Amino acid sequence: MDRLNGSSNLMIVSDLDYTMVDHDDPENLALLRFNALWEAYYRHNSLLVFSTGRSPTIYGELRKQKPLLTPDITIMSVGTEITYGESMVLDEGWKKYLDHKWNRDIVVEESAKFPELVSQSETEQRPHKVSFYLEKGKASKVMQALSEGLEKRGVSNAQEELVEWYAENAKDNAQIIHATERCAAGIVQAIGNFTLGPSVSPRDIRDSMLNMKILSLDHEVVMFYLFYERWMHGEIENSEQYIQNLKSIFHSTGNFVHPSGVDQPMQQIIETLPKVFGQKQGLDFWVWIDRVSFAEVSLGSWMVKFDKWELSGNELRGCLTKVLMNSKVDAPNEFTWMHIHQTWLDGSKGKDNTPWFV
């Protein structure tokens, strides 16, 4: 929370499975649209919270499979574990609160009286959570009896229930909507419906590098890497106009430090672009950025930091990226990229032999 100078402009709290993450969307298009929107317009002054029934173990597995952003707060194990930031610092105060009048042994003993309850895997058994599978038709009876038993001893994916609740209680409430879009796209729809801020994802803007109006440093970074993804896909025209546009963005004497440590002129990136055009055409190749932050290091000079990720097929690679940008003298709201420095993130270091462009 230290990255915010004051109170949060907006806080989004979202479940993961079939809410932020659509498991029926193999290309993760809705999630990638949300990612671009959040990093371009909201990350610098707002909070993103994931609330999931998953344990830390299978939450971590999901992060390796899907292009999830790093939340500011992660609520896991059905609300029994709360962590903060990328390093997932445990909320010890919440842990102490849950410890009060909690006896895990009693819960295990009482639940053992119901053969209908089938224990979930060990990864899902947590200090303040005992997890089971239960057939839906038996759920009401077992849950009522188990609750009564636990009360005497002294102590999710609710999609259908939410739809029923909405029909009964919220249909005419203007402050609640039942989104018509799926999952992450429904979250974007809600942002627009309640006019909470920008709701058009940069991914919904075609020819973004030519027609974009730069709003901020984070917005420019998102747009550049979106252009890079589309260039590699061959989705846009292999045009000299794009090359000239990049030459106006990258300083003529700027340098780029590859995550392998190789130092090269930034102009070499521009010279290489035509050679890699369309290399990922027809392939599952996606690029997104995470944790964008920026600080003014001197008058008109900014250090922008973010994690840049690429998912190519089933291979996920990422690097910490630092970009030094200067405001243009003749156009203070536009920026020149002076220097780019990248280092591999954990799990990507051993893949230096795999091509990595920028």
pLDDT tens digits, one per residue of 260-282 = 899 999 999 999 999 999 999 99
Residue 156 has a pLDDT of 31
How far is CA 61 from its chain centroid? 14
* CA gap 179, 109 in Å, rounded: 42
* CA gap 4, 42 in Å, rounded: 12
Residue 205 has a pLDDT of 87
First to last CA, the chain: 30
Residue 336 has a pLDDT of 93
Residue 351 has a pLDDT of 54
Beta carbons within 8 Å of 3's beta carbon, 6+ residues apart = 293
Q: Which alpha helices (H) appear in the chain, and where do they start and end?
A: 29-41, 56-65, 92-99, 104-111, 136-152, 159-165, 183-193, 208-211, 217-233, 240-249, 266-276
Taking the CB of residue 288, how many other CB atoms lie within 10 A of it?
26
Residue 142 has a pLDDT of 86
* CA gap 60, 17 in Å, rounded: 13
Residue 209 has a pLDDT of 62
Task: Give pLDDT tens digits for 93-144.
Answer: 999 988 887 888 888 888 899 999 998 888 888 888 888 898 988 888 888 8
Q: Which residues of the chain have pLDDT under 50?
A: 156-158, 352
CA dihedral 330, 335, 341, 342 (to 10 degrees): -170
DSSP 164: H
